[in-house]
Structures are given as C-alpha cells and as structure tokens.
Amino acid sequence: MRFPLMIGLLFLASAVVAQDTTLLSQVGDSLTNSTKPMPVTGTFKGIYLIQLQTNETIAAGALNFEIQHRFGQLNSGAYQFFGLDNATLRLGLDYGITDWWTVGIGRSSYLKTFDGYTKFKLWRQQDGGGGMPISVTLMGTISNYTQNFPDETYLNANYRTGYATQLILARKFKFFSLELVPSYIRNNLVPTVADKNDMVALSGGARVRITKRMSLDGEYNYLFPNQVVSTKVYNALSFAWEMETGGHVFQLVFTNAQSMVPTQFISGTTSSWGNGGIYFGFNIARNFNLTSHAKKSVKY
C-alpha cells in the first residue's frame, strides 16, 4: 500500500451530510447552525477508531473497558480453521481524570506486551461563527514486551521498551469524520544497525455514518521508507463495521496488523493484504460511570 491510498481514504466521502452520536462524549452530539462558536462533540464513537486512537477522551470519573481481539490469519488454511483456532488479545482500561485528560493501561498477548498512555485534548472543533476548525489531541504511549527468548538473554527491560508520540488532528462533517495522525516512534533496540531507532509515520482514518447507531470505519498507517530495512514490513490497513448497542460500542474488524499497540503495529506489521495475511477480529468498548459527575457527562 502506498501513501496515496491514505489520502484517498481521507477524502472518500466529502459530500456526505447528517448527524452523529457518541458513547464517550461529555455532552450530546453537535454540529449546529449557530452563529456563535459552539464545541463539536461526537467526532468519533469512542477513543479508538480501529487500531488508532481518536481525538475523543473519557469523561471525568468514567472508566472504559476495552477488549481488542484478533484471530489468526485468514490464509492459515483449513487445518487452522482459517485463523479461528488462534487469537491475539488486548485488554485495556482507560480512565478520565478530567473531561480533557485520559490515561490508560493495557496488556496484550502479542509478545506479552504491557502498554500505557496519556492523552490530552488541546483544542476542540467549534461550529458556527468562525471558531476552531479542527480538534487537536496529544497522546504519548510507552510499551514493554516481556516474552522470553532463551537465545536472547541480553534483552533487559530497557531494550524491550518503545515509545510513541502522536498528534491527533480531527474534523467532523455532518456524518463523516476524519483524522490525521503524525507519529514519532522510538524503539530502544532494533534488529540491526541499519534499522532506525527513531521513526516517523503518518496515519489517516475516516468514519462514515450509515444509521444512527452504525458506521463504517477505515484507517491507514504509512511508515516512511528506509526506516526498517532488515525486515519486510507493510503499512497497516484496517476496516471495521461499527455498531453502538446500548452501553457498548462493537466493531467487526479486518486488518493486516496483529498487534494493537502503536509502537508495534505502525512500525512492525509483517503481514500483507495482498497475500491473504488478514486478521479478522473485533473490538468491544464498555463505559462505566464511577462518579455522579460522570453520569451527567457521558451520553449513551
């Protein structure tokens, strides 16, 4: 996949019009015709688009439980039931410290990885009266894999650690939402001296609403060339069918990325859509109101 595919994804439905609702917004959905600038909410249903995080944050005092599940590759054959005999799982907890500041932790079966992140909403898109045209959110992630490799005993905790910094730029149209995410990734240890410890990537994603509770999502992660040279890596491309069912957001996912941690799937995807290296799976998000403030500020 090449960079133009991402550009095409970002602009595939620029003429679409309607309204949107969200599970994790602090107030109801909005895109008003007011002449006074008003904050836009519900750009995306939740804090994850598919693999990427969105500009959304958790309401203060609310807890989000995230299950991200990927079966094995579809090209693994009938003996492996086309991937359904195998699975990769990430469990995550995300908490809203304030309405604009979210922190989260997760544990993945892929390389037995622990991850944590913090996310700050810097600016919110405003509608009417020439307000802020986009939402801007800053996120930092740290990950550490703990899987044992008997022939690589030198792998201490520092070598196993990676970092990602992402600036999430998002805009909501009337039933179409876009985000553009430049990323800086740092892996403390890489396979060879020819590989880069420090990498940059540019990701893009879109959500198109079909009904009040259903949408189609897509994202593409473009890793700039000549940064990983010892291993053949591919740009992660993902699609999802998203449904809101009461207090849950549920997605059916197709992706060529096995990992669900940005330090890994952006720079380390080794499967290709072209040869059937596709992982089918799902994401489930459930929001819990832990305080009276959260009950008032989270809309289902």
**Arithmetic mean of pLDDT, 165-183:** 96
* Tokens (6 digits) for 283: 């994401």
Q: Is pLDDT at 265 greater than 80 in this prediction? A: yes
Instruction: For the chain, give the mean pLDDT.
Output: 87
Could you give the CA distance from residue 140 to residue 35 in angstroms, rounded to a whole number? 35
Share above pLDDT 70 across residues of the chain, in percent, rounded to a whole number: 85
In this predicted model, which residue has the larger pLDDT, 226 or 248?
A: 226
Share above pLDDT 90 across residues of the chain, in percent, rounded to a whole number: 70
Q: Is pLDDT at 269 greater than 90 in this prediction? A: yes
* Tokens (6 digits) for 51: 């693999």
**Arithmetic mean of pLDDT, 224-247:** 94
Over residues 30-78, the pLDDT tens digits come to 555 556 788 898 999 999 999 999 999 999 999 999 999 999 998 888 8
**Arithmetic mean of pLDDT, 114-133:** 91
Strand ranges (DSSP E) for the chain? 38-39, 62-73, 87-98, 101-108, 113-123, 126-127, 135-145, 161-172, 176-187, 198-211, 214-223, 237-245, 248-255, 279-289
In the chain, the number of structural domains is 1
Q: Is pLDDT at 219 greater than 90 in this prediction? A: yes
Q: Is pLDDT at 181 greater than 90 in this prediction? A: yes
Rg, the chain, Cα only: 19
What pLDDT, on the 0 to 100 scale, is given for residue 23?
A: 41
Least Cα distance to 85 among 72, 74, 98, 97 occurs for 72
SS3 85: coil
Could you give the CA distance from residue 205 to residue 54 in angstroms, rounded to a whole number? 9
Q: Which CATH number characterizes residue 20's domain?
A: 2.40.160.40
**Arithmetic mean of pLDDT, 251-265:** 97
What pLDDT, on the 0 to 100 scale, is given for residue 47?
A: 96
How sure is the predictor about 5, in pLDDT bands with cuts at 50, 70 and 90? very low
What pLDDT, on the 0 to 100 scale, is given for residue 290?
A: 82
In this predicted model, which residue has the larger pLDDT, 257 or 12?
A: 257
What pLDDT, on the 0 to 100 scale, is given for residue 6?
A: 44
Provide the domain limits for residue 247: 3-297
What pLDDT, on the 0 to 100 scale, is given for residue 186?
A: 97
Least Cα distance to 113 among 93, 72, 143 occurs for 143
Most confident of 26-30, 92-96, 127-131, 146-150: 92-96
Segment among 92-96, 154-158, 259-263 with least mean pLDDT: 154-158
How sure is the predictor about 292, in pLDDT bands with cuts at 50, 70 and 90? low
Segment among 38-47, 51-60, 114-123, 138-147 with least mean pLDDT: 38-47
The torsion region of residue 146 among left (phi > 0), alpha (psi -120 to 50) and beta comes to: alpha
What pLDDT, on the 0 to 100 scale, is given for residue 293?
A: 57
What pLDDT, on the 0 to 100 scale, is given for residue 274?
A: 93
* Tokens (6 digits) for 175: 């039933």
What pLDDT, on the 0 to 100 scale, is given for residue 152?
A: 84
**Arithmetic mean of pLDDT, 114-135:** 92
SS3 52: coil
What pLDDT, on the 0 to 100 scale, is given for residue 117?
A: 98
**Arithmetic mean of pLDDT, 253-259:** 97
Q: Is pLDDT at 123 greater than 90 in this prediction? A: yes
